[in-house]
């Protein structure tokens, strides 16, 4: 059975800096009929990125969602936080090559974006590439297994 990229359930979250891009990405996912859940924030009031990133990462690690997308200003803070959660392989990608190999080689399960770094159209392309690309397994499976001992 082939990989049906449209059947994935995606957890999405952002801090205030990522709010506008989060809204765009959620609308984009909905347009593609991909099931997603918005973990907030729901307004642009300054919010602490570690809280939202941890919530999304835990939901993915608990297998409530297949993957997560977390957005902050740089994409970096939320990536650091998400990677503290056991079972999470979070990557910051601002171009499609990294988005693709983070899936084929690293089986990344959280994508982080920096709303102050990337434009909306490129962010959508990155998201689409990341969601459509399947993990290659094989020699990469052993390496991914080694990440958490």
Taking CB under 6 A as the rule, does residue 73 contact ligand RB5?
A: yes
Taking CB under 6 A as the rule, does residue 13 contact ligand RB5?
A: no
* Residue 120 C-alpha from the chain's centroid: 15
| Angstrom distance (rounded) from CA 141 to CA 115 | 31
- Beta pairing class for 67-72 and 9-14: parallel
Judge whether 93 counts as a catalytic residue.
no
Beta-ladder partners of 11 = 37, 68
| Angstrom distance (rounded) from CA 9 to CA 37 | 8
Judge whether 105 counts as a catalytic residue.
yes
User: Of the listed pieces 33-41, 60-68, 73-81, 92-100, which binds ligand RB5 according to CB under 6 A?
Assistant: 73-81
Least distance from ligand RB5 to the Cβ atom of residue 41, Å = 11
Taking CB under 6 A as the rule, does residue 17 contact ligand RB5?
A: yes
Question: 3-state DSSP helix/strand/coil percent for the chain, to nearest 5?
Answer: 45, 15, 35
Taking CB under 6 A as the rule, does residue 77 contact ligand RB5?
A: yes
Which entry of 72, 79, 93, 94 is annotated as an active-site residue?
A: 72
Taking CB under 6 A as the rule, does residue 76 contact ligand RB5?
A: yes
Q: Please identify, using beta-carbon distances, which residue of 8 and 51 lies nearer to ligand RB5.
A: 51
DSSP 26: H
Residues marked as catalytic? 72, 105
């Amino acid at each position: 059975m082939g990989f049906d990229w449209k059947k994935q359930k995606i957890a999405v979250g952002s801090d205030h800096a990522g709010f506008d891009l989060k809204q765009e990405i959620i609308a984009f996912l909905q347009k593609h009929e991909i099931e997603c859940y918005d973990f907030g924030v729901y307004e642009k009031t300054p919010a602490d990125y570690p809280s939202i990133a941890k919530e999304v990462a835990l939901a993915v690690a608990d297998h409530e969602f297949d993957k997560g997308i977390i957005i902050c200003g740089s994409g970096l803070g939320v990536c650091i936080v998400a990677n503290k959660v056991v079972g999470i392989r979070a990557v910051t990608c601002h171009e499609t090559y990294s988005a693709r190999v983070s899936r084929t080689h690293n089986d990344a399960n959280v994508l982080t974006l920096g709303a102050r770094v990337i434009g909306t159209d490129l962010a959508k392309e990155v998201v689409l590439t990341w969601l459509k690309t399947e993990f290659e397994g094989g020699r990469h499976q052993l390496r991914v297994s080694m990440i958490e001992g």
